[in-house]
Chains A and B, each alone.
Chain A
């Protein structure tokens, strides 16, 4: 299967110079779900931000669909990478209702309203389309965030602790539903989590970030 994402000898340090990621290499295949597992502060989210183009790299390179998107001298803007991003706090735009949130990334498409309804139905939140983020539950917000990310038909979906704020029952319900959707759509997904159970259940492969080494399972 073809690699959709390739990371070669990646290193990153913030302004203070302390390295967050050192000489990390990895690849993600089309339709594969990979979990990056590790404790807080180990550099998992930074890795996701680098892939999204929200952070630069100090060394190495990132390739998406055979195109170099990040290296020491070049950083392709996030909006040009065709990625989806879902974060723990959902980051739904509070001034837009559910439908408008989902349509945000496809404002240039004519049939955006019907497409939005299709994705909202897929995640079982179609009846909430006119509600505002603060009027719906955390689980419903997460479904909306996933619909918003998927509607743009991204090459890779980046999930940063997406189920972190949910209770156990809601989590397992969402795991099953979303994994099925991702597999049906043959989507490449990179999940960042500190929850081993979530990583094992959700992904095809686990990469564990530890303080002194990286383990690929």
Chain B
């Protein structure tokens, strides 16, 4: 290949973007090789074991619960006909609209000794003011419940697809070999979807490890709260980075396991002998049990927090939509839409490069660009701060003070790295639908490079463009830790505002931003539910 070809715009762009995306992560990892301060010794001797133990208990508990909730509900909606099944098929993903930190805040409001549930219980059961019916939720077990009921939809979604692809012949053979209905699920169906189950659980485990808002609110010492405290409490960025490196290495290990499990995920029976599941109609009692099993996760993960937020909103009288709320909303909308547009354009350009140049090297780069999705927002923020300080000091030193550090650039950069995977997936799916012959015809008709992108691909990928904008926007709106660290002084977003109110125990005032976050979070749910409905129609045909 000629030199000019290798260094053409479409060839070099993916490498440049990769370098940009990897820099903050490499900066974090490089801290492992620097000197360890006294703070590190203190952390190592007194608190590191707590971080590891709490993170371990949290991840184990959440993993077990999401496996149970996610796989059981997925099995029920794919194999049985019961009251509300059509709603539950997509309704079970509704909790995804609520970030764990908002569920944590609402649960505190609901179950604290003076919370809504205890108040209702006291008035209904005529109890004394000092009597508490519901247990304290602000502990690691409460956090396990919070994470499990917001994150189980990941397992549900993956398991549902896997169950839909299982042939009923296998289960019929199982029944003739003496297995009961329950045994078919436990001994056949579940082991067969093991790779999907691992993949879904890994996503949940990582999301749990990344979280800052919920564990901080419940005062649980984990890696993320530790990193935050080391930086903002001890003012020791290097030690914070060293802590972050440990978490990053562990997450990489998780990702490798997840990838390996997906590689071996060929347990499906889709092929010429595939027979779709026969949906079994249940009697009233069975139908009631299934209804209950599917309703409880939605009730805890979506209806209850919504009820509490509504309760706060009603108590928050006219001030609900004050000037500050609108200013914060505008900040959030501006930031999220700008980041979404930039992220979408990058994903579009990279995917176009892959398609246009048809180069195996560029193709192999793309998965690495998704790496930001697997890095906690907090760690990414730490890496970006370091990168920007370096750039400000060494490259932009002619300018007065700091130009990049503490500016909106850092925030937008973090959002783009973190959300790229979403935009990329949307474009990959879009490109799969465009036949290669369209490109061939356009090329022969003298359309190349930017002309081909703007005249042919962009109009054909309009749906991918808008879907990507919506998905990234809703993801950015929810992002808390990166925003908390990277935002310019006195700049607030809906997530930060919710966090600040909740950390000051001003729950009622947190209602306005929390409601806005949930409403925006419902956007991707709408898309996923549409996909779920389509997949059901295809199967029934």
A residues adjacent to B (C-beta < 8 A): 15, 49, 52-54, 77-79, 81, 83-85, 87, 89, 91, 93-96, 104-105, 145, 148-149, 152, 158
Contacts and interface: CB of A to CB of B under 8 A. Distances in A.
B438 A93 contact: yes
A77 to B, nearest CB: 7
A95 B459 contact: yes
A78 B438 contact: no
B460 A94 contact: yes
Interface stretch (B245-253, B255-263, B371-379, B442-450): B442-450
Interface string B319-363: 000000000000000000000000000000000000000001000
A93 B446 contact: no
Interface in B411-448: 435, 437-438, 440-448
A93 B440 contact: no
26 contacts: A15-B360, A52-B440, A52-B443, A78-B440, A79-B443, A79-B444, A79-B446, A79-B448, A81-B444, A83-B444, A84-B444, A85-B440, A87-B440, A89-B437, A91-B440, A91-B441, A93-B438, A93-B441, A93-B442, A95-B459, A96-B459, A104-B455, A105-B445, A145-B441, A152-B445, A158-B444
Best-surrounded residue of B437, B440, B441, B459 (most CB of chain A within 10 A) = B441
Contact of B448 (A77, A104, A149): A77
Contacts of B360: 15
Given A94-B460, A95-B460, A89 B435 contact: yes
Contact residues of B: prevailing secondary structure: helix
Contacts of A89: 435, 437
A78 B441 CA distance: 10
Interface in B34-59: none
B442 A104 contact: yes
A105 B440 contact: no
Given A93-B456, A95-B459, A152 B437 contact: no
A95 B463 CA distance: 12
Nearest to A145: B441
Nearest to B445: A105
Contacts of A85: 440-441, 444
Contacts of B437: 87, 89, 91
B296 to A, nearest CB: 46
Contact of B443 (A78, A94, A96, A149): A78
Contact of B440 (A15, A49, A152): A49
Nearest to B446: A79
Contacts of A149: 444
A54 B460 CA distance: 21
Nearest to B456: A93
Contacts of B441: 85, 87, 91, 93, 145, 148
Nearest to B440: A54
B445 A91 contact: no
Contacts of A105: 445-447
Contacts of B443: 52-54, 77-79
B453 to A, nearest CB: 13
Q: Which 3 A-B pairs have the closest CB atoms?
A: A105-B445, A91-B437, A78-B443
Contacts of A84: 444
Contacts of B435: 89, 91
A111 B398 CA distance: 54
A164 to B, nearest CB: 13
Nearest to B459: A95
A77 B232 CA distance: 57
Contacts of A54: 440, 443
A91 B446 contact: no
A120 B446 CA distance: 20
A149 B360 CA distance: 30
Given A79-B443, A93-B456, A104-B445, 11 more contacts: A53-B443, A78-B443, A79-B444, A79-B448, A87-B437, A91-B435, A91-B441, A93-B442, A104-B442, A152-B446, A158-B444
A105 B451 CA distance: 11
Best-surrounded residue of A77, A93, A149, A152 (most CB of chain B within 10 A) = A93
B235 to A, nearest CB: 54
Nearest to A15: B360
A158 B437 CA distance: 13
A153 to B, nearest CB: 12
Contacts of B455: 104
A15 B446 CA distance: 27
Contacts of B442: 93, 104
Contact of B445 (A49, A94, A148, A158): A148
A79 B440 contact: no
A141 B446 CA distance: 21
A79 B447 contact: yes
Interface string B455-470: 1100110000000000
Nearest to A158: B444
Contacts of A145: 441
A78 B460 contact: no
B3 to A, nearest CB: 13
A105 B443 CA distance: 9
Contacts of B448: 77, 79
Contacts of A148: 441, 445
A186 to B, nearest CB: 20
A90 B460 CA distance: 16
Contacts of A15: 360
A148 to B, nearest CB: 7
B371 to A, nearest CB: 26
B452 to A, nearest CB: 9
A23 B435 CA distance: 30
Nearest to B358: A54
A27 B197 CA distance: 59
A45 to B, nearest CB: 10
A102 B114 CA distance: 73
A101 to B, nearest CB: 9
Contacts of A95: 459-460
A91 B447 CA distance: 14
A158 to B, nearest CB: 8
